[in-house]
Amino acid sequence: MAIRPFRFEVAEARSFKHPHFPNIQKHIFLVPAARLPKSIPQKANLREATGMNRNVYKDVRESLRGNEALPGSFDLLNLGITIIGEDVKALDKRVFEVLIDDDYGIANGGHTANLIWECQDDDTIAEGQHVEVKIITGVEGPNEHTMRVDIARGQNTGIAVKPQSIFELDGAFQGIKDVVAPFEWSDDIAYKESDSNEIDIRELISALEIINVIDFPNRSGKHPIAAYEKWSTPLKKYGDDFKENRDEPGGRKYAKLEPLLPQVLELYDIIRRDFLRIYTKEVSNQAAKLKIVEDAPKKSGVFQFRFAGLEPHERRLTKGAAYPILGSFRNYVRINQDSGQAEWVGGFDNVKAVWGEIGKDLVLETREAVKSIGNAPDVLGKNRNHWANLYRTVENHFLRSEIERLTAGGA
């Protein structure tokens, strides 16, 4: 067996002996994610770190980049990495040498480690991100290998089947599939957790929730913040809606909203790409320095805007900043009393024209929110007042337009 040393620079560390196995020690390190040592062996990990495009790992990647949660909170949200090691030596107060056998190493958290190394290469790890590393040493003796295998097995029993995988098996997403079928990007939707496609079905359902004027009627003062705050909430609502209307799918609440889905996604792309242009024109040329603007990973170099068919760009507005803006256009969604289906007031071309007219106001409102509540995308995406202020801006424009239309019609 080959045993190699790995240098761990840590923010915090503690060690203690196992109460029943006196030779075994546990060492808990809080490691800056940007300095996690690379190439740690992973043969003890029963769940190979493959399928890095699975949506559960996309969520972890975005969390690490600070786009899906507060920067600095990664170690509070992630279970971390468990390593079977041979020995731990203190080189300095916050520097340790860990000896690891090539035949063992990471017993759990291989995907987390690989995502961290990937983001190290892309230089996309948000400031203040740490990962908890647990190192188990002293597993030796006549039953050494058996115990190491048992540890590895026990560390890999925690991933449950995600709800979207069950809903896909049940046929719950057929309404969405029918609506998006004409579009090229429809083949790249991941309906199950194990799918490697780029577009997460939960993002599409969240887009439907953003225009949900049934549960969040216009002028009600309620806003679909859960569309950003907790993807599991609209996913559960969508699944429950399907179950309750299994025998009559056309009676589903979301069936009334689904026809607008491709256009909601198109508007989402327009907002994410256009924000930088408007900010540069109306505020300053420092948009790229905002934390609510994200850079494309070095590997791809650009973001694609397939929903709207726009040219790729190396930057875009983060989801946390884009969702409240997109949600403000719920003002232009209504349920047609004759068809029972959702529709855009004045048509979708009118909605895009409204963005062209008041996009500046929404960008400036976002800038004020950044100044008052912070520059973190996650803070903007969850702030009730910010959603309400943006909604009110579009509402005022909508009501002025309606007054002008009625006045002109009566003249």
63-99: per-residue pLDDT in tens?
898 887 788 999 998 989 999 999 999 999 999 999 9
Taking residues 267-276, what's their average pLDDT? 97
pLDDT higher than 60, residue 160: no
Q: With bands split at pLDDT 50, 70 and 90, how would you rate the model's confidence at 148?
A: confident
Q: Which residue has the higher pLDDT, 288 or 312?
A: 312
**Chain centre distance of CA 347:** 30
Q: Which of 139-143, 260-264, 316-320 has the lowest mean pLDDT?
A: 139-143
pLDDT higher than 90, residue 183: yes
Please count the residues of the chain: 411
Q: With bands split at pLDDT 50, 70 and 90, how would you rate the model's confidence at 239?
A: very high
Question: What are 285-309's pLDDT values in tens digits?
Answer: 888 788 999 999 888 899 999 999 9
Question: Mean pLDDT of all residues in the chain?
Answer: 90
How far, in Å, CA of 202 to CA of 167, rounded? 11
Give 340's contacts (C-beta < 8 A, 6+ positions apart).
256
pLDDT higher than 70, residue 190: yes
- Highest mean pLDDT (candidates 40-49, 139-148, 227-236): 227-236
3-state secondary structure (DSSP) of residue 77: helix
pLDDT higher than 80, residue 253: yes
Angle between helix 232-244 and 163-170 (nearest 10): 30
Q: State the pLDDT at residue 406.
A: 86
Nearest of 112, 116, 86 to residue 1 by alpha carbon: 86
Q: Which residue has the higher pLDDT, 238 or 139?
A: 238
Q: With bands split at pLDDT 50, 70 and 90, how would you rate the model's confidence at 48?
A: low
Q: Which of 57-71, 149-163, 171-185 has the lowest mean pLDDT?
A: 149-163
Q: State the pLDDT at residue 361.
A: 97
Question: What are 106-126's pLDDT values in tens digits?
Answer: 988 888 999 999 999 999 999
How far, in Å, CA of 351 to CA of 374, rounded? 29
- Highest mean pLDDT (candidates 52-56, 105-109, 165-169): 105-109
Q: Rounded to 5, what percent of the chain is helix, strand, coil? A: 50, 20, 35
Taking residues 339-354, what's their average pLDDT? 97
Q: State the pLDDT at residue 58.
A: 73
